[in-house]
Every structure is written in structure tokens, then in C-alpha cells.
């Protein structure tokens, strides 16, 4: 089952944690594996932070980016094949609680591409 949570809420982590953000939280010891192929493009994040994109547009463009990566990134395809066998896993990023975050977009995208994947709580 796949979950999402904030770095700052380890009580919400279930199973293997995976970092899907470009940055590593300061002052935190690494407790997760990194999935760089799930990072959103830097220019997309900057445009969102600068107010040039709303979250809906960010989500749509991020999904389009993931679709493009799926065609060319062997690591992503290989990870998708192994994902159902991993057991419980949590995608981690910075935003807390129900704040808009790309980790939930990534979880939904993964579910669409791995039909046997079940989603747990997406925080």
C-alpha cells in the first residue's frame, strides 16, 4: 500500500519512506531512499512558488512530465514494476497535513500506472 506524508510528521510514515522532493530537509538525518525520477521539474516548482501557476496547473504539468519520463527513464519503469512487491511505502515531501503537495499527485499517478497498487492515507 502506498501512503504520503510530510518529513515533519514521521508518525504518519508507513513502511519504507521515499523522498520525492528535490531538497533534503535541513537538520534531518537521512531515513529514506531517494526517488529522483519523481522530482517535479525545478522550473515548474519555481513558477508555482512565484505565483505564475496555480496548483491545478502544477499538477497537470507534473503529470505530463511523469508521463514523458516513463517513456525514457529506465529506472522509473523498473521501480514501477517492483512497486507492488515493496509492501507498504510512503512518499515524503515538505508540506504538512492537507496543504497542496506534489507527493499526492505522484501517488495518484503511480496508482494509474500500477493498477494493483493500493493507496492508503494520502496526507
- pLDDT tens, residue by residue, 14-31: 999 999 999 888 877 778
Q: Which long-range contacts (CB under 8 A, 24 or more apart) does 31-40 make?
A: 32/92, 35/79, 35/91, 37/69, 37/73, 37/75, 37/76, 37/79, 38/66, 38/76, 38/91, 38/106, 40/65, 40/102
- pLDDT tens, residue by residue, 17-71: 999 999 888 877 778 999 999 999 999 999 999 999 999 999 999 999 999 999 9
3-class SS of residue 81 = helix
Query: What are the domain boundaries of the chain?
Result: 2-122
pTM of the model: 0.93
- Phi then psi for residue 64, to 5 deg, are -60, -40
Q: pLDDT value at position 37?
A: 96
Task: Pick 30 or 88 by higher pLDDT.
Answer: 88
**Do 109 and 33 contact (CB within 8 A), yes or no?**
no
Q: Which residue has the cell 507527493?
A: 103
Residue 112 to residue 43: CA distance in whole angstroms? 25
Look at the alpha carbons of 47, 100, 10, 88 in this order and tell me if their dihedral is positive or negative: negative
Residue 105 has pLDDT above 80, yes or no: yes
| Mean pLDDT across the chain | 94
**Do 80 and 116 contact (CB within 8 A), yes or no?**
no
Amino acid at each position: 500500500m502506498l501512503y504520503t506524508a510530510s518529513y515533519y510528521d514521521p508518525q504518519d510514515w508507513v513502511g519504507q519512506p521515499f523522498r520525492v522532493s528535490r531538497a533534503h530537509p535541513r537538520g534531518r538525518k537521512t531515513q529514506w531512499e531517494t526517488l529522483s525520477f519523481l522530482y517535479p521539474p525545478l522550473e515548474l516548482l519555481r513558477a508555482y512558488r512565484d505565483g505564475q501557476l496555480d496548483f491545478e496547473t502544477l499538477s497537470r504539468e507534473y503529470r505530463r512530465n511523469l508521463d514523458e519520463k516513463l517513456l525514457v527513464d529506465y529506472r522509473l519503469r523498473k521501480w514501477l514494476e517492483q512497486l507492488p512487491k515493496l509492501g507498504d511505502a510512503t512518499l515524503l515531501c515538505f508540506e504538512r497535513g492537507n496543504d497542496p503537495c506534489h507527493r499526492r499527485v505522484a501517488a495518484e499517478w503511480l496508482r494509474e500506472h500500477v493498477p494493483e497498487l493500493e493507496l492508503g492515507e494520502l496526507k
